[in-house]
Structure 1
Amino acid sequence: MKSHDVRIWGIRKRPTKKPSYEVRWKVGDAKPFPETFRTKALADNFRAKLMRAAQNGEEFDTETGLPESMATAVTVSLTWYAFARKYLDMKWLHAAPNSRDSINETLTLVTTELLDDRPGRPDDETLRRALRGWAFVVQPEDAEPQPTEIANPLRWVEKASQPLAGLKEPAAIRRVLDSLKLTLEGAPAAAETVRRKRSVLYNALGYAVDLGELPENPVTTVKWKLPKVTKQVDRRVVVNPRQARELLAAVSYVGGYKRARGRRLVGLFACMYFGGLRPAEAVGLRRQDCTLPEKGWGSLILERTRPTVGKRWTGTDSVHDHRGLKNRAADETRVVPIPPRLVRMLRAHIEEFGTATDGRLFANERGGVVASTTYWRVWDEARRLALAPDHVASPLAGRPYDLRHAALSTWLNAGVDPTEVAERAGNSVEVLLSRYAKCLDGREDIANRRIAELLDEDDQEDDDTD
């Protein structure tokens, strides 16, 4: 129904954590219509449009609350799917491969949540394959056309996708946020994964505000708690020096002497433990980055990392990204002093296996970049060789990355200044102290002994007084 009976109230400031401004108006006998904006200027602009339409004698719709001039703009609003494709095109070129993967995963999940129940819906697996493998990947110009089994589901998605403007409703955005707590397969997602996907969604809807499709970012309009992320490393994963030596020795036995599958990677794991390197930093280490004297301490100059991300996200024929250090500028380096034991191990590795054509210390049997799946398999076998059955079943050194945790904890417990440890590790002091300070086995025993000694001294003083 249409009506000329329109009442428009003044702008009301909402007392939320992030202040917002609400425009309210009424058409005929319908309930008042609210519209919320992140700034007073946006609210003023919207209210002015309503006032202008009423003064011009336009009829207002009793269902949408909007005059014809403003309702037309809503009608041609983008669907979520069309907007998501537009956002992907904007972000893809300058996004790191891992970020592309995260954007793809989030857009796929939200898209499946914002679909109408139309006839001919493809099954969930087909939808995920079409969205994750094709719709939300920027294809090269010479890419093959979509196969029919992909093109047909995506045409259905185009028709079934709900309007982007629908996310202005608190119930709709809350439903989308709740969907982030699950993986694409429907299993509960890790807390850090939920936070990452929420960040992507927030950034995407911020772009919708920039385009004028939304008056404000709807993520900020609802109270929704992010799951808490555990900051401290689980102390059960941290090996002590004896366990670390036994694990490194076991790595050398994996694959036998002839294939040398494990021996090729002993130095890789040693860099994580004795140098505190991240796995991707160790994989990308080159001979020209190493100072390896015959005696004494050496050093590593870290500049590049080679994380495994997949060809789909790198946009090249390589499954490995080639990027700078984490949380640092593109060309910034980090110098890591390394003890004589690691110097000797790296010299022995170079003498036996040489280097790859680009100078990398660690390569697979064909000279390529060591894949994460390769060193994970070797590590799993080494754990079974080195650890007792109860330790194999425990979280102890469950991942190669846990060697880095052990390294940083050991340095801290040895009394090395946290600022120096943070510099070597490539962390901030705040992150270092919050995550690694309580991880080394045996630290509790030292504290207990000191407390016991103090209590004994107090008892002795009491005896002397008596």
Structure 2
Amino acid sequence: MNTTYDVKLGGIQHRTDRETPTFIARWRVAGKPRSRSFRTKGLANAFLSDLRQAAKAGEEFDIATGLPVSTLARASSGPTFFEFAQAYVLRRWNASAARTRETDAYALLSLLPALVIDAPRRPAPEELREVLRIYALIPEKRRPSLTAAQTAALGWLERASVPLSALKEPHVLRTALDAISITFAGAPAGANTVRRKRAVLHHLLEHAVEQKAFASNPLDEIKWTAPRAVTVIDPRTVVNPAQARQLLDAVPKVGRNRGPRLKALFGCIYYAALRPEEAADLRLSNCTLPETGWGLIVLERARPQATKRWTNSGQTHESRSLKHRADKETREIPIPPVLVAMLREHIAEFGTAKDGRIFSTRTGGTYSSSAHSYVWQQARKLALTPAQVASSLAARPYDLRHAAVSLWLNAGVPAPEVAKRAGHSVDVLLRVYAKCMDGQQEQINGKINNALDM
């Protein structure tokens, strides 16, 4: 490598004669003119600033490329962690659900600002997370224009990111694990959050193995114990049938519109064990609702809520395939007469949305999770005792689903059939959902007494 200290920095030329405006940084090395194009002036300024810092530090420049020796050393070690992680997210974008995209990005908001060298002029952590969230981790066509401060933060992160190869080192991986173990405010993160973020890091490194960057996943060699996450349902959250009926009867008393429109939706969660996002996309064409007897729901789609940034449509709700199921795969749930009647009454009073959805706002939209929560909390205050309201009993609408599955199991319905209706594997069902109902303790104790007296 031929090097020199003869470096003269120029300025930035703004070219407007191209399809995309371009900012060209110019400099000379050993008398030879050099240039590099950038999409923003901020990135061009940041690049020249790096060259200036290298020259002031007395660093040699490579004559062939015109770049500081340190820059070439970093480039020769392969992509940076930032470059690889960004490519990983964008490559998975089209095949991922909105919530998966958000989970990937949320993990990288912790990892990318942590896996950097100690470079000067480091932006504040919230500035780095912002530019990642709104720009670097979404497809190029959806990116907004950046402010000067955001451009500087992005440029700093691109330059300071450690090489991907550095993740072979145990101390670098421990830095990553430390980063995902705390919240953005510096407090210990919840066990489920830590486990999700570690899963993203592990999958990213598996992809690096596939790309021949590593012979094996370096994370597997780190002796680190993930925090224990709660994976079973707390029986204290599960209502019995009488409590469920009281809660459902209280829902229409909340507000003029939301409560009455949401009673049957909550009924679907309890009587058919639907997930809230499955009930949100339930359509009249999915239902068989006879005047008497049992009916049938054939689920086709779900309507989960996500941040607009991560959805395909740019809306908070969009229809997609059922969770853990292939596209166009369905799930059949026989429904009891009480739910059949509830749905028939709802449709008679409110009709359906233009696309056939049974549950919608007055304007045809989808109720948000916060709207569900508000109505539910008000219904709890109307239906439960003060002590129960203060407890975890049916604290969330989702707890109705847990109550439904627990009821079916305790009623003696075979586990494979319960799993089929609930949309789970038998293993997950028995590990997570097989819990007793509130108020069933005396019945169980009585059975034990009867056995002891034999």
Answer yes or no: is the 8 Å Cα contact 1:239–1:396 preserved in 2. Answer: yes
Instruction: Give me the whole-angstrom Cα distance separating, in 1, the residues matched to 2:149 and 2:384.
Output: 49
Measured at CA, do residues 208 and 430 of structure 1 come closer, stay the same or move farther in structure 2, by a change above 3 Å?
closer
Measured at CA, do residues 154 and 109 of structure 1 come closer, stay the same or move farther in structure 2, by a change above 3 Å?
same
Answer yes or no: is the 8 Å Cα contact 1:306–1:321 preserved in 2. Answer: yes
Displacement after TM superposition at 1:77 (Å): 2.1
* Paired letter, 1:354: G
In the other structure, the counterpart of 1:183 is: 183
Residues 217-260 of structure 1: CA deviation (Å, up to 9, x unaligned): 211121111222222200010011111111111110011xxx32
Aligned length: 383
Which portions of structure 1, spanning 4 or more consecutive aligned residues, are displaced by more than 4 angstroms?
A: 71-74
Residues 431-459 of structure 1: CA deviation (Å, up to 9, x unaligned): 112222223123332221122223334xx
- Of the structure 1 ranges 222-231 and 167-176, higher mean CA displacement relative to structure 2 is found in 222-231
Instruction: Give me the whole-angstrom Cα distance separating, in 1, the residues matched to 2:303 and 2:407.
Output: 26
In the other structure, the counterpart of 2:221 is: 221
Displacement after TM superposition at 1:322 (Å): 1.6
Answer yes or no: is the 8 Å Cα contact 1:195–1:226 preserved in 2. Answer: yes
* Paired letter, 1:162: V
Does structure 1 residue 447 correspond to structure 2 residue 444? yes
Measured at CA, do residues 250 and 214 of structure 1 come closer, stay the same or move farther in structure 2, by a change above 3 Å?
same
Instruction: Give me the whole-angstrom Cα distance separating, in 1, the residues matched to 2:293 and 2:352.
Output: 23
Q: Secondary structure at the match of 2:403?
A: helix
Q: Secondary structure at the match of 1:198?
A: helix
In the other structure, the counterpart of 2:134 is: 133
Instruction: Give me the whole-angstrom Cα distance separating, in 2, the residues matched to 1:129 and 1:217.
Output: 29
Instruction: Give me the whole-angstrom Cα distance separating, in 2, the residues matched to 1:437 and 1:83.
Output: 42
Does structure 1 residue 97 correspond to structure 2 residue 94? no
CA RMSD of aligned residues (A): 1.8
Residues 87-117 of structure 1: CA deviation (Å, up to 9, x unaligned): 2222112111111001111112111111223
Does structure 1 residue 311 correspond to structure 2 residue 308? yes
Identity %: 48
Displacement after TM superposition at 1:261 (Å): 1.6
Displacement after TM superposition at 1:74 (Å): 7.2
Measured at CA, do residues 89 and 454 of structure 1 come closer, stay the same or move farther in structure 2, by a change above 3 Å?
closer
Instruction: Give me the whole-angstrom Cα distance separating, in 2, the residues matched to 1:271 and 1:405.
Output: 12
Does structure 1 residue 274 correspond to structure 2 residue 299? no
Unaligned regions of 5+ residues in structure 1, if any?
1-70, 458-466
In the other structure, the counterpart of 1:340 is: 337
Answer yes or no: is the 8 Å Cα contact 1:233–1:439 preserved in 2. Answer: no
1:418-429 equivalence runs, <5 A: 418-429=415-426
In the other structure, the counterpart of 1:56 is: none
In the other structure, the counterpart of 2:253 is: 253
Instruction: Give me the whole-angstrom Cα distance separating, in 2, the residues matched to 1:127 and 1:292.
Output: 53
Unaligned regions of 5+ residues in structure 2, if any?
1-71
Answer yes or no: is the 8 Å Cα contact 2:135–2:144 preserved in 1. Answer: no
Measured at CA, do residues 433 and 212 of structure 1 come closer, stay the same or move farther in structure 2, by a change above 3 Å?
closer
Instruction: Give me the whole-angstrom Cα distance separating, in 1, the residues matched to 2:340 and 2:175.
Output: 55
Does structure 1 residue 438 correspond to structure 2 residue 431? no
In the other structure, the counterpart of 2:384 is: 387
Does structure 1 residue 168 correspond to structure 2 residue 168? yes
Displacement after TM superposition at 1:184 (Å): 3.0
In the other structure, the counterpart of 1:57 is: none
In the other structure, the counterpart of 1:120 is: 121
Give TM-score scaled by structure 1 length: 0.79
Instruction: Give me the whole-angstrom Cα distance separating, in 2, the residues matched to 1:448 and 1:139.
Output: 62
Residues 263-312 of structure 1: CA deviation (Å, up to 9, x unaligned): 00000000001111111111110001010011111110101000001211
1:316-331 equivalence runs, <5 A: 316-331=313-328
Give TM-score scaled by structure 2 length: 0.81
Answer yes or no: is the 8 Å Cα contact 2:77–2:165 preserved in 1. Answer: no
Instruction: Give me the whole-angstrom Cα distance separating, in 1, the residues matched to 2:91 and 2:253.
Output: 49
Q: Secondary structure at the match of 1:337?
A: strand
Q: Secondary structure at the match of 1:262?
A: helix
